[in-house]
Amino acid sequence: MSESILTNKIRFLVKPGGVLRGSIRVPGDKSISHRSIMLGSLANGVTQISGFLEGDDSLATLKAFRTMGVTIDGPHDGRVTVHGVGMHGLQQPSVALDLGNSGTSMRLLCGLLAGQGMNLTLTGDASLSSRPMRRVTEPLSSMGAAIDTTDNGTAPLHIKAVGHLDSIHYQLPVASAQVKSCVLLAGLYAQGESCVVEPAPTRDHTERMLRGFGYAVTTDGNRICLDGGGCLTATTIDVPADISSAAFFLVGASIAQGSDLTLRHVGMNPTRIGVINILRKMGASIEISNQLQVGGEPVADLRVRGAGLKGIQIPESQVPLAIDEFPVLFVAAACAQGETVLTGAEELRVKESDRIQVMADGLQTLGIDAAPTADGMVIRGGKMRGGRVDSHGDHRIAMAFAIAALCADGEIVIDDCANVDTSFPGFADLVNSIGMRLEIG
């Protein structure tokens, strides 16, 4: 039986209404989990990780480094021990590295492996194999890397051994943390100083974690630079709860009147808090407490209560800071009073799915006036009915429509939900524990 048939058989059936109450900790941050395995593997010494996200995407990264000869113990209850092999200790794999559904794994590994002097192939599932990869292979080629894609610029990617990489000063054409990180990781193996200039701030987990492993990275405004030829020193990493996963509950408790929910130990990296800024602008009640610094990353507890949301013009400055949270922010807009307008988010069209079109289609099915545009959407809040929608295998869209049931007047059935486990294992059990009624069919 094909993968697509199996995937389509997993669906969510979500009863309408509900109130979210309690105190929960969502799974660990996926971005930080990926990078902890990558840098821990290249470090000298043993890196201890806690809070690691045991989802399919980050496990694909872990498996890839095991395939390249790195000894990794775990994960066991979020704890992982990585026995680093040093900057040049990876071994030639005998098989292609299968990265499943993880775009982060493929784009970051493309940079990290380009200067390793090995011949490798990076593959993924049907969704990953349809996503654009020239955005990383083109700057890498300018550094002297040799990487072949399909004629469409997609995976599989064939990385060929080269003698060395040249440094680069690269102006990002669009704000993208994955492209920035890819170039910086390749810069570790380049001769001289490599710099990336961003058109707008993006998540800075790579820069923070490199510094945590003792590697010098300089940031001057929107310019990030490092010198090649250094080394990484093993460290201890406590992965905070993922704000992208917390976002579903921030929206859910906001749209369900009478809710009072606390989210513990959430990562509050300033390049990731666009979802909080946008929801507060819409009128959400979100209190921040217990602010700490853990391993170079800020964390805090978030208390969110039901509030009447209003439609807004979403500031374009917040778009890169909330790029992964827009599926559920579209749900917030659908349940808000008035019109919400998003522009400057064309990046959403090349995620796990075309998130603009797929969310617009689903919201229209549920009775909401949602008009997609080239770089965003115009949503007029209204009464949401029940119905059946297709997530197109996109984990964030599946979870967003599950949350939508909180303000719907009928059951919502969501098809193609297997990939929820890529980022949020245990999602169904957690939402049911705090007041929703979700069944897996």
Which residue from 104, 122, 135 is spatially nearest to 37, judged by alpha carbons?
Answer: 104
Helix (H) or strand (E) holding 39: helix 30-42
30-238: CATH, from 3.30.70.520, 3.40.50.2300, 3.65.10.10, 3.40.50.300: 3.65.10.10
Q: Where are the domains of the chain?
A: 3-28+240-440, 30-238
Q: What confidence score (pLDDT) does residue 352 get?
A: 86
Q: What confidence score (pLDDT) does residue 312 get?
A: 98
Q: What is the dihedral of CA 54, 92, 158, 100, to 10 degrees?
A: -20
CB 203 within 8 A of CB 31: yes
**Beta-bridge partner residues of 286:** 304
Architecture of domain 3-28+240-440: Alpha-beta prism (3.65)
Q: Could you tell me the two tokens for 431?
A: 């939402």
Report which residue type is found at 366: L
Which residue from 383, 385, 391, 394 is spatially nearest to 412, judged by alpha carbons?
Answer: 385
Which residue from 313, 336, 396 is spatially nearest to 362, judged by alpha carbons?
Answer: 396
Could you list the active site residues? Answer: 324
Q: What confidence score (pLDDT) does residue 211 get?
A: 96
State the Cα–Cα distance between residues 236 and 221, nearest whole angstrom.
28
Domain 3-28+240-440 and domain 30-238 have a common topology: yes
From first to last of its 441 residues, what are the pLDDT tens digits of the chain? 333 334 447 999 999 999 999 999 999 999 999 999 999 999 999 999 999 999 999 999 999 999 999 999 999 999 999 999 999 999 999 999 999 999 999 999 999 999 999 999 999 999 999 999 999 999 999 999 999 999 999 999 999 999 999 999 999 999 899 999 999 999 999 999 999 999 999 999 999 999 999 999 999 999 999 999 999 999 999 999 999 999 999 999 999 999 999 999 999 999 999 999 999 999 999 999 999 988 789 999 999 999 999 999 999 999 999 999 999 999 999 999 999 999 999 999 988 889 999 999 999 999 999 999 999 999 999 999 999 999 999 999 999 999 999 999 999 999 999 999 888 999 999 999 999 999 999
Q: What confidence score (pLDDT) does residue 6 get?
A: 42
Q: What is the dihedral of CA 417, 421, 426, 427, to 10 degrees?
A: -50
